[in-house]
Structure 1
Amino acid sequence: MPGIYPNQLAQNLKPLPPLVLLWGEDAGALRQAAQQVIAATGVDLNDPFAAEKITLTDLLASPSRLADSAQTMSFTSPHRLIWVQGISGDESGATITALTQSVKTALEFPLEAVTIVLAVPHALEKTSPIVKAIEGHSKALAVRFFVDSASDISGFLRTEFNAAGVAVEPDAIQMMASGLGADRELARREVEKLLVYAGDELPITVAHVQACLAGAIPADAFRLAEAVGSRNRTETDRLLQHLIHQGEDLTPAFSLTLKHLQSLKTAQAMKARNEPEGEILKVTGKFRAPRNVQNEFLKQVQAYPPARLAGLSAYATETLSQARSGLLDPTLALSRALLGLSA
């Protein structure tokens, strides 16, 4: 069917298309749209009989893999989901050609009770063969995402800060917009990171932005600290694997987690002295945070084992000694320590 734009996506998911191509410059918007399509299928991604994740590497090794999978029936769900992953947009022309051929082969067969989700950032044009093939199919759907302008991103940032109830100086918004490009998902993560960094030092200023955006700490490191504090081992492992895959040094993430756990320790001590909740939030830098962030922090204060926090300093010293000893891979030492803290 003819190509559409992002604001038309929801209305075109009923009935579900057999294949949805998401393409364009805004990689963050593509990832969000992929999740929207996946949610619309109602398929549980953890159900191996109803959902399948196929990587670009898989398709290069076996060009017919996509077509074969699309013809496989699900025994646990009325609909089947195939999510093609691992496409960065930096692939060679030959690789995109191979991907195109896999998609064309799949489209040659009747596609019933299945949805293939395929996000391709940066690499395609309106005249690309894969776009033309999908737009020429009677039921498949192609959605184009245009790059946001600086004014679009500025407006998006203001909306995110307003939603958090946090004041921010106009110059700080301008600096963020100029440094983030067009990726809204990246922009949202940087807002989250900045909120944690600034704490109760409001309004957010250019100095906050310079210190935070210029720093080497990725947004997922902040999420990792929260996952450890909430003792969510599964999420901790997922974030660790993502950081490692991105080539990040885990030392900043480990330090950030230790800082977060130290705040929990301080809060527990204040709580034991029956000090008011408001004072606890002030001392730990959570007083100006959104209420849901405060509630999650207080929940962690209540649940995290005090005995483990009592030995935090020694545990940190031992872990860092191992990571720097040269006898053990630093990534392994820090990963193991963070998983231990999340247990």
Structure 2
Amino acid sequence: MKISARSVAATLRDPGAWRIVLLHGEDAGLIRERATQAAQVITPDLDDPFRVAILGRDAHDRMVEECTALSLVGGRRVVWVREGRDGLTGLVKECLATRTDTLLIIEAPGLESRSKLRALLEKAKDCAVIACYPEEGRALEASIRQMLSEQGVQIDPDALSWFAERASPDRAATRAEVEKLFLFAGQGGRLTHEDVQACIGDAASVSLEDAAFAAMVGDRTGADLAIERAMNTDRMNPIGAARALLSHIHRLRRVRLAMDAGQGRAEAMSALWPQVFFKRTEAFGRAVAIWSADALMQAAVWTQQLELACKQTGSPDIVLCKRHVARLAAQARIMARQR
């Protein structure tokens, strides 16, 4: 049976109601987290060799044997299959044909939509098929808030938005960052934007934000300093910088188009998601006032050309990126004087 998104939590709280739980999708970290959650409901001690059998790819052929084995110490057993593939369909049919109370959990990241295994289990009323895809937007914020709440930590709304915007698409990586925030805040603590930035802030991405905001309001000095800081970090490259700049330009253009259609600036900006960090709203508003929609489209074209140029073998990509930021700043100053 295919489990809807709203029913996933209830299903994982009571996995004993099912014979097989299939977890598939693109988020391997979320798949592992949900598999662990389901297994621990049946047996909290996942290291118990009498009640838990974890089968990697090289042990898939033992699946039927493990599913039909009896627990020597009593209680329901869990057979946890990792790296599940369509090739398991025949073995799964054998397990379904056998009377057993063992819970079979199958992790199958990347399983195709036309998979025979998925089709088989989606038709079975006593089997749960759960899709695990990367969360984003409000769903991701809700998950982060829930993770922190479980640790007794609260987080300010602006800090949550900033964190969610930069969170990894993999659930395991996001949870690792949440654990770091818990250690930073402590039990019962509260996290501010400054706390989150200090704890997990990526210096490269923060500097790129500074460069983008400075360039689009014509602040050549600030933009030069910020892009220099970004390029001096290990986690940034010119292609990443081009994409960050392009994202900022597109956000500006969305607001500019909404304003041209009759919306007020504040209303248009409030429709953005993630919303503009409150300490940057003034600079964002100034940039929207300076740039027209057509000019922003031209800036986007220039930035796409920058990315293509940076991908050329042997290109002076760092120099091209710094020159591009300077070009945007110069163009913003010209347009500001014309208004």
Please give the TM-score of this superposition, normalised by the length of structure 1.
0.48
Please give the TM-score of this superposition, normalised by the length of structure 2.
0.48
Point out the structure with max Rg over C-alpha: 2
